[in-house]
Amino acid sequence: MDVARDSNVTELELKYGTQWMPTVPDLKLICVPIEDVEHIFLMVIKMDEMKVYHLDTHLLSHQVGARRLIIKKICDMVSQISLSLYDLEVPSCAFPHFDT
């Protein structure tokens, strides 16, 4: 919701960064629940596979494009937070470019 409300990276880092992000060597999964029109689906970033998964119990074909855009926007923000928190320790891959 915060990303959808256009919160900036600094606000998101302060709110979620140190409490929710482990150190880089231990970072295996990033799970983000996403609410879209009173429906919650899950985005999972699997670091070792360099993949982003979209887990959704009620995905209709006309919703795929819009939900992928939401996931891309959130991935971009999580990527920026990670790069900021870890002082660029994260490899130069940005999550939005992971396979989906």
Does the domain at 9-97 match CATH 3.30.310? Answer given as yes
pLDDT above 90: percentage of residues in the chain: 7
Note the pLDDT of residue 41: 92
Question: 82-92, pLDDT tens digit by residue?
Answer: 776 666 555 54
Mean pLDDT score of the chain, rounded to an integer?
Answer: 75
Separation between Cα atoms, residue 69 and residue 67, nearest integer Å: 5
E strand or H helix at 74: helix 64-85
**pTM higher than the cut 0.85:** no
Q: Lay out the sheet containing 29-36: strands in order across.
A: 29-36, 39-46, 51-55
Contacts of 55 (CB under 8 A, 6+ apart): 41, 42, 43, 44
Question: 44-76, pLDDT tens digit by residue?
Answer: 988 778 888 999 988 889 988 888 898 888 888
pLDDT above 70: percentage of residues in the chain: 63
Assign 38 a pLDDT band (cuts: 50, 70, 90).
confident
